[in-house]
Amino acid sequence: MLNVLTDDTVNPVEPFLRTDRMPHIWCPGCGIGTTVNSFARALIESKIDLESLALVSGIGCTGRVAGYVKLDSFHTTHGRAIPFATGLKLANPKLNVVVYSGDGDLSAIGGNHLIHAARRNIDLKVICVNNLIYAMTGGQTAPTTPGHATTSTNPYGTFEPAFNLPHLVEAAGAVYVARWTTFHVRQLSRSISEAFQKKGFSFIEVISPCPTLYQRRNKMGDGLDTMKYYKEKSKVKNGAPTSEVGLTLNGEIAVGKFVDRDRPDFQSMMRAQYVEALGERYIDEPAAECCCEEC
Partner 1 sequence: MAKGRVSIVVERCKACGFCVEFCPTHVLALSSAFNSKGYHPPHVVHPEKCSGCDLCGMYCPDFAIYGTKAAEAKAQKASGGEK
Partner 2 sequence: MKADPRGVLTGTHFIDGDHACCEGALAAGARFAAGYPITPSTEVVERFASRVPTVGGSFIQMEDELAASIALQGGVWGGAKAFTVTSGPGFSLMMEHIGYAAMTETPCVFVDVQRGGPSTGLPTLPAQADMMQARWGSHGDYEIIALCPNSPQECFDLTIKAFNLAEEFRVPVMFMMDEVVGHMTEKVIIPPADQIEVVPRKHTHKSIEDYLPYGTNGDMVPEMAHAGEGYKFHVTGLTHDERGYPNMTPQVQDKLVKRLQNKIRSAADRICMFEEERLDDADVAVVSYGITSRVAQRAIDMARERGLRVGKLRLITAWPFPEKKIAELAGRVKAFVMPELNLGQMVRELERAANGQAKTFAVPHAGGGVHNPDEILNAIVEASRC
Amino acid type, 241: P
Among the residues of 12-80, which ranges form H helices?
Answer: 32-46, 65-68
Compute the distance between CA of residue 4 and CA of residue 6 in angstroms, rounded to an integer. Answer: 6
Q: How far is the CB of 282 from partner 2 (least distance, A)?
A: 5
DSSP 213: I
Note whether 290 and 94 are within 8 A (CB).
no
Task: Please list, in sequence order, all residues whose beta carbon lies within 8 angstroms of the beta carbon of residue 291, skipping any fewer than 6 positions away.
Answer: none
Question: By C-beta, is 126 or 129 nearer to partner 1?
Answer: 129
Q: Is 287 in the site for partner 2 (CB under 8 A)?
A: yes
Identify whether the C-beta of residue 84 lies closer than 8 Å to the C-beta of residue 40.
no
- If you count them, how many residues does the chain have? 295
Residue 44: partners with Cβ closer than 8 Å, 6 or more residues away? 12
Report in angstroms how near the CB of residue 113 gets to partner 2 at its nearest: 6
Query: Rounded to an integer, what distance in angstroms lies between the CA atom of residue 76 and that of residue 100?
Result: 11
Tell me which residue of 245, 84, 88 sits closest to 162, measured CA to CA: 245
Task: Decide: 277 and 211 in contact? Cβ < 8 Å.
Answer: no
Pairwise CA distance, residues 262 & 43, whole Å: 22
Residues with Cβ within 8 Å of 218's Cβ and at least 6 positions away in sequence, in order, are 149, 150, 249
Nearer to partner 2, 236 or 272 (CB): 272
Burial bucket for residue 262 (CB in 10 Å: 0-12, 13-18, 19+)? exposed
Indicate which of partner 1, partner 2, none lies near residue 274 (CB less than 5 to 8 Å, by partner kind).
partner 2
Instruction: Tell the smallest beta-carbon distance from residue 38 to partner 1 (Å).
Output: 7
Binding of partner 2 at residue 276 (CB under 8 A)? no
Per CB under 8 A, contacts with partner 2 among 11-30 are 18, 21
Q: How far is the CB of 134 from partner 1 (least distance, A)?
A: 19
Q: Does 116 bind partner 2 (CB under 8 A)?
A: yes
181 φ, ψ to 5°? -115, 175
Q: How far is the CB of 221 from partner 1 (least distance, A)?
A: 11
Q: Which of 77, 222, 246, 271 binds partner 1 (CB under 8 A)?
A: 222
Report which residue type is found at 81. Answer: A
Q: Measured from the CB atom, is 116 or 233 closer to partner 2?
A: 116
Binding test (CB under 8 A) with partner 2, winner from 37, 77, 154, 268? 77
Give the residue with the Cβ less far from partner 1, 227 or 245: 227
- Stretch in the footprint of partner 2 (CB under 8 A) among 29-37, 63-71, 181-189, 246-254: 63-71
Q: How far is the CB of 231 from partner 2 (least distance, A)?
A: 34
45 interface partner picked from partner 2, partner 1, none, CB below 5 to 8 A per type: none
Q: Near partner 1 by CB under 8 A, which window of 4-12, 81-89, 114-122, 134-142?
A: 4-12
**Binding-site ranges for partner 2 (CB under 8 A):** 18, 21, 50-52, 54, 56, 66-67, 70-77, 79-80, 83-92, 94-95, 112-113, 116, 270, 274, 278, 281-283, 285-293
**Binding-site ranges for partner 1 (CB under 8 A):** 1-15, 17, 22-24, 26-34, 36-38, 41, 182-183, 185-186, 189, 222-224, 227-228
